[in-house]
Amino acid sequence: MASSSTASIHKSFKYDVFLSFRGEDTRTNFVDHLYNALQQQSIYTYKDGEAIKKGNLISAELIGSIEGSRFYIIVFSRNYASSSWCLDELVKIMECHKMTDHTAYPVFYDVEPTEVRNQIGTVGEAFVKHENDEAAGKWKEALKEAANLAGWELKNTANGHEAKFIQKIVEEISLQLRSSDFDIDEKLVGMETRVKDVLSLMETGVDDVRMIGIKGMGGGGKTTLARAVFDQISYLFEGKSFIENVREVSSTSLSGLKSLQNQVLKDVSFAQGINISNVHDGKRMIKRMMRGIKVLVVLDDVDHIDQLAALAGMPNWFSPRSRIIITTRDEQVLVAHRVKLIVDVNLLSYNEAICLFSRYAFGTEIPIQGYGELSGKVVRYANGLPLTITVLGSFLCGKNVSEWIDALKRLETIPLNETLQKLELSYVTLEEDYKEIFLNVACILKGWSKELAIEALESCGFHATNGLKILEQKSLITISKPYEFVGMHDHIEEMGRNIVRRLHPNSRLWIKEEIKDILANDLGTNATRYIRFDIGNVNLEIVMKGLRKMKELRFLHVAPPHIQEDFVERHRNHDNVNQHLPNALQYLPNALQYLHWYKYPLSSFPNTFLGNNLVALKMVKSKIVQLWEGGERKVLNKLKILDLSRSNLMTLDLRSAVNLELLRLDGCNSLVEFHLPGRCLNLKSLTLTYSKLRTLDIGQTPNLKHLDLKGCYYLVEFRLPNPCLELISVNLSGSNLRTIDLHSCVNLKLLDLKYCSALVELHMPGKYLNLRSLTLTYSKLRTLHIGQTPNLEDLDLNNCYDLEDFHMADKCPKLTSLNISYSKLKTLDLGLAPNLKNLNLEECNNLVQLHVPFGCLENLVYLVLSGCLRYTSFLFDKRNAASSSRDESIEVGPLAELHLIAKSLKECPLHPDNTLRKFQFQCFYKDDPSSTGNVEKLLSFGLCACTNLETFSESICGLRRLRKLKLECYPEAPKDLDQLECLEELSISTTDMKHLPDSICMLKHLEILQLKDCWSLEKLPEDLGRLECLKMLTLSDTKIKHLPDSICMLKHLVFLELSDCFYLETLPEDLGQLECLETLDLSYAKIERLPDSICMLKHLKNLVLARCSLLKTLPKDLGELECLLELNMSSSMIKHLPDTICMLKDLEHLNLNHCLLLEKLPDDLDRLESLRSLTLRKCKLLRDIPISICKMKRLERLDVTGTCISNLPHDICLLKRLHILGSRGLLESSGFTSKIQTVQYEDTCFVDV
């Protein structure tokens, strides 16, 4: 039986504050003011003469009051020490002060702390008469202890002003109370961070007036959050008011708003006689009263702008530093009231939800034994909604397991009524058309992209853009960023579907079983307006027959079919597909406005279907050959969206579709005939790719923006409309056009004409002010003149083999990439292109002149000159290129970075200025790149040299500021590497090097050492451990057999890769000393065991032991690798996993592929609580999966292909995220028959649980 008891965490106090004072000194002045100030802040305060009858001696009753108080304020005045009553109080107070949860604060009113501490001055004079009393000793000790406590001294605070002094005391006491009380509600969970989010916007110390909105769905914790914020900071304000249920109170009667105004005024002023005659009068009074005091007002559950106008009209109603908090489900209310600071309430995370549920169900932080899995189901059903969690927690408290199971089964079909009622409040305030949109999202469109949802809704006559915005503002839907999918909380979805069942039965059908039943039993009615279903194994004849009774159907969305194609094949006659199909197949409701049928199986529409109401028609991958049999034309004047991509379409006549806006015929590679209206004034996008059209006339389409005809290889005749001022992108790539005239397309941004291999003539306007990208590869153009293109960024003319004459604009300020490779150009004038980064002139064999204005290539990064045979040298200097008389040089301004690829240069380009900090050079000649004499100056600021040179000058080692060095295909590393004292990264790839020079160990700043494909390398320097800054060490594809022991001294090493080291036999025993190591890759090593010390690698995240074919065992303490995320032991000889492996709480991926000897997995596999992927492919001796796998809630992928496992645990179906790969027989025997899908490229099946 689940326990219902809840132990209080905090001690209960009768009073917040106990005032100790000398009555004749301060009762009627200072203490009286202090007492009232505390009371106004709702601080329950004990003051002698108020709670205990006058004349009572100090007694058990007074002692009880002292013991029952949390804080003590001791007001020391001139005569305090003369009263034995006060001194006895003080002794008791100091006793309690030493106890937990009690705190005493001294107030030095008209005496100083030293007087109290030492009983001197006026305090000493007052205490004289007690010198001979028996209690004098303990009184003195109490006075001394109290004087040593932190407190307040009037003369040193607020310049002696009592009012400010009292305010300071009250603020401090309030702060202490709030900090200790803030978490006193032990059933609040997750509030701390949410409160901080709100407080960060409030900035209570800033002298403005702020209104903060808290927005979220019903039951999401808005009120709880507002109350928590209010409780924590209300003491900072002179007046405060928390107005609950504004929506409910203001709507129940005409005087509702007036009563709320009354409450605000009474709360902030403590006046009881306020009586407002009307709302206008209330506004005037609130405005007048609020201006004088700093207030905190919370208006909870606001749903109309009138409520805010009556209660918190404008910021100028309030005094500076006032704060107004507004909670609402409707963001538009906040927007309309000019509230700028809005917080979205986040629903509870899974862990927070478990904690909250446990507190209500068990009075504990976590579920009690035996209820963990059931609690998880409840929490997943609640999906983070606090209201549902608390209701179910309270409901299930004290019930036994069978009652829990029964309740959960009921929730599967009958939603929680208390939650739905709360959520439905947001729905009832919607206008009728927005209600319809909401119900369509709940039943049909949840999970759709916003764009497609708007398309579907607008097709059905709704104002969808505004409607979805309204629903989002009212927290009924969410629009996820950045992909903008329409989301909806599960309970809001349930609420919407419940409304449909209750108020609009059968208007929307979305449950496959219900749809199948209605269609199969011919139960359709005219009430049905919207259907979305996966046709699955429903017979197509039944579907069409069932639709006959749904004559008012507006929306039909059919998901991918499976069996229906076989049905069509059985009735197929290749001369006329339709005529042999049953008549029932030839019906669609004429009321349809939105029709989406993926893989529609018929070759045309039934002739009885008029299509005159269609707004959107989408039939991707359909069998349709023509819209209506025999080419019959129907009136489609409402059609706006048509998508028949990848269909069998051969002819398409759309001359009646005069209102088309979007036409998509992507991949209709059988299309040979196509007609558009002569005037298609609304068409904005036309996609007609890979068709067999030879000619195309798109008529008058003045609003066309996007035209895509790529892959129309047969297209020889096409003319763009004139005018086409709206056209911004044109793709004619792969067409067979010889001439293209673009004179009328002056606003193009993207022009793609690649692979137009017949193109010999291109006409362009003199100004292309918006053009950003022009691609013209593989054309037969001989001349190309580009006019003004101030926004051109990318120009690609590669493989224009016939191009001899090319003129760019004088200025291309945004051009970053220019490719003119494989052309016949002799001269090239780059014009003013200061941002050019990539210049490719590969195989421009005829190029003899390149004109570059001074300073125009200072951002150049990649330059390709391979095959430019006329150029043999490449020099940098600052001279104007126009003044140069050399034909075989390129003169460019100073660069910061250069990657140069060239085949025929005699000299390496070197810069005389100190700006080239990064340089990559690939050349197939044997020249020494230091030969020009400028190397030292250049490389003193760093070099990344990638070269195929066979010799390398030893002068490179004199470049003391070199930071990065990469050597490829180089026989030996320089011997004097130690001179490169600033080197941080060294990469060597060579087949000949057998040993690294010992000098490498002197590189104190080296962080990265990569030795890849050094197939001859047999040994590393013994002192490699002296590389004290090394973080990354890669030794792949070497002949190394052993690592030097000193490698264990690399205290900063994070990454160690020894992959493909086929000769590696042992690892250092002290490998565990690499305390920062995160990745260790030993794949293909010949090691037989791992050193036990490897278990000391507390930061290791990735351990790769793939194809370690001699490895048979793992260290028994492997579970101590507490940070391990990935363990790959594929193709090893492991027979058993150590029991401790289940201690790896953070392990996410476990790969045991091809572990041919593996016989068994640990029984407590579920202790791997973070595991997401378990791969057991080809573990041929493995026969069972532990039943504990059913508890692995985070498991997403399980691969059991090629194992001897004959059945999976029954409850594995509860792992709703799981994707299982295995043989068809295994999956069928495990109950997944209906979900099995086949992987195309191998003999494997999978299911998504």
Query: Quick check: bond before 723 cis, omega within 30?
Result: yes
CA atoms within 13 A on the CB side of 149: 24
- Cα(590)–Cα(604) distance, integer angstroms: 15
- Nearest-angstrom CA–CA distance, 202 and 208: 10
Count Cβ atoms below 10 Å from residue 163 Cβ, excluding itself: 10
Number of H helices, E strands in the chain: 29, 56
Both tokens of 1177, joined, read: 């492919």
Contact between residue 533 and residue 512 where contact means Cβ atoms under 8 Å apart: yes
Tell me whether the omega of the peptide bond preceding residue 482 falls within 30 degrees of 0, making it cis.
yes
642, 719, 649: which is closest to 682 by C-alpha? Answer: 642
Pairwise CA distance, residues 966 & 1013, whole Å = 13
Calculate the CA 1072 to chain-centre distance: 36
Question: Quick one: angle between helices 386-396 and 417-428, nearest 10?
Answer: 160
Cβ atoms of 986 and 963 closer than 8 Å:
no
Residues paired with 1198 in a beta bridge: 1174, 1220
Backbone angles phi, psi at 535, to 5 degrees: -60, -30
Taking the C-alpha atoms of residue 1082 and residue 1061, their distance in angstroms, rounded to an integer, is 8
- In whole angstroms, give the CA distance from residue 693 to residue 696: 7
Question: What is the bridge-based pairing of β-strands 1173-1175 and 1197-1199?
Answer: parallel
Q: How far apart are CA 534 and CA 1050, in angstroms?
A: 60
Instruction: State residue 230 phi and psi, 5-degree precision.
Output: -60, -45
26: which residues sit within 8 A by CB, 6+ positions away?
A: 75, 77, 109
Tokens found for residue 678: 């002569």
1120 is catalytic: no
The strand pair at 891-892 and 875-876 is best described as: parallel
The single residue of 89, 238, 493, 842 carrying the catalytic annotation is 89
Name the helix (H) or strand (E) containing 850: strand 849-851
Count CA within 13 A, CB hemisphere, residue 623: 19
Question: Could you give the dihedral angle defined by the CA atoms of residues 50, 53, 56 and 59, in that order, rounded to the nearest 10 degrees?
Answer: -70
The residue behind tokens 């008549």 is 583
Q: Which residues contact 959 (CB under 8 A, 6 or more apart)?
A: 935, 936, 939, 940, 943, 980
In degrees, rounded to 5, the angle at the alpha carbon of residue 948 between the alpha carbons of residues 944 and 950 is: 115
Which SS3 state, helix, strand or coil, does residue 489 take? coil
A 10 A CB-CB count for 1122 gives 15
Find all residues with CB under 8 Å of 99, minimum gap 6, and list them.
none
DSSP code per residue over 333-393? HHHHTT--EEEEPPPPPHHHHHHHHHHHHTSSSSPPTT-HHHHHHHHHHHTT-HHHHHHHH
Is 745 in contact with 724 (CB distance < 8 Å)? yes
CA distances to 67, 618, 810, 920 from 895, rounded to whole Å, are 80, 54, 22, 13
Please identify every residue annotated as catalytic: 89
